[in-house]
Every structure is written in structure tokens, then in C-alpha cells.
Amino acid sequence: MVAQNLVAIDPRFGATVAPISRADLYDTYWLREVLETLALRRSMELGDEAWRARMTESFEAFTQKTSAPPEDTTLASALDWSALHRKFHEALFSACDSLWLQRMLATLYDHSERYRMLSRRQGTRDTVKEHARTYEPAIAGDTEAAVAALGAHLRATVELLESQLPEDGKAATTEDT
């Protein structure tokens, strides 16, 4: 966790959750866009029926969870949604043959999830439609449309998350409380 910068070590406070900032948000999502679209391109080059099946299965599970009325607004429900969301994104680039690229994406996803969880259930988005805009061309083999939609989705996420940060762009840290 320390090596991934998810935890900060402070001699006064011990281990704390690493602080978040507007600059970190931008950097994390910029890299996610660069690397996820690269991995999606590679997956679309190498993808087979098993890859398409993984995408379809994960998209359908995500859609089912997202389309259901939000009866449960607990953290556990948010974590369930998050796991399905992550599984879909990972399915998109699961045919990519670069293990290093997949590892980097997993680390970036962990970082971006910290921001997303801060703003869960805030803002209005049609997340099923946004993800369908990537899924449908990916299944159809339209690389450019799938990559463009994925990039647009990640940029829209940044806009929403940015609006949830305080004006100074930094969330409270241990020192602030």
C-alpha cells in the first residue's frame, strides 16, 4: 500500500490514508485514459470469443446492478457496485497481453476509486449508457469508437469528481482533523 502511494507514513501520526488532491485526480485519470485506451486497443486486436464473453458477462452484471432501484445505499452496496464496475473496465482490456500494463492499470484504478468513493451517489449520470457507448463498439469491433467513448467516460468522471472536491482541491487529511 505504501509503495502504491495509497498509504502515507508520517512519524507523528503513523500510517494514514494518503491525501487526495485535484492534481492527483487529474494525473491519475489522465494516465488511466492513456493506458486504458492503449490496453483496449490491444485487447481489440487480440480479443477472441472468450474476451467478448467476459465483456458481455461483466457488462450485463454491471447493468443489472446499476439499473436496479437503489434500495440499499449502504457502503456495502456501493462496494458491490464498485466491484462490478471495476470488473467491466478490467474485462475491456483483459485480452491485452501486457501484464505490466494490466498491473499499472490496477494500481491506477485503486487510486481513482478513492476519489469515486468520496462522491458516491452524487451528481447525475447515466452510467449504463456511458458504459454501453464503450461496450457496444468494442463488441462490434469498432476500435476508434470504443476508444473515444472510453476516453469520454473517464473525462466525464473527472468533471464529476472535481466538482466534489473543496475549492482548494484537497480533501481533509489527518492533520486537518
Please give the angle made by the CA atoms of 44, 83 and 62, to the nearest 5 degrees: 65
| Residue 99 maps to a domain | yes
Pick from 84, 90, 164, 163: nearest CA to 128: 84
**Res 174: pLDDT:** 35
**Res 170: pLDDT:** 58
**Res 1: pLDDT:** 41
Tell me the pLDDT tens digit for each residue of 118-149. 765 555 678 899 999 999 999 999 999 999 99
Which comes out higher in pLDDT, residue 89 or 17?
89
| Residue 4 maps to a domain | no
Q: Which domain holds residue 130?
A: 19-166
Which single residue is written with the C-alpha cell 487480440? 46
| Residue 34 maps to a domain | yes
Cell numbers representing residue 45 in the block: 486486436
Tell me the pLDDT tens digit for each residue of 9-37. 555 655 556 677 899 999 999 999 999 99
CATH number, domain containing residue 119: 1.20.120.530
Please give the angle made by the CA atoms of 37, 40 and 45, to the nearest 5 degrees: 130
Pick from 172, 177, 175, 148: nearest CA to 36: 148
Provide the domain count of the chain.
Answer: 1
| Residue 144 maps to a domain | yes
State the chain's maximal CA–CA distance in angstroms: 55
Spell out the residues 6+ positions from residue 14 whose beta carbon is closer than 8 angstroms to its own: none
H-type alpha helices, the chain: 22-46, 49-67, 75-92, 99-118, 127-140, 143-164
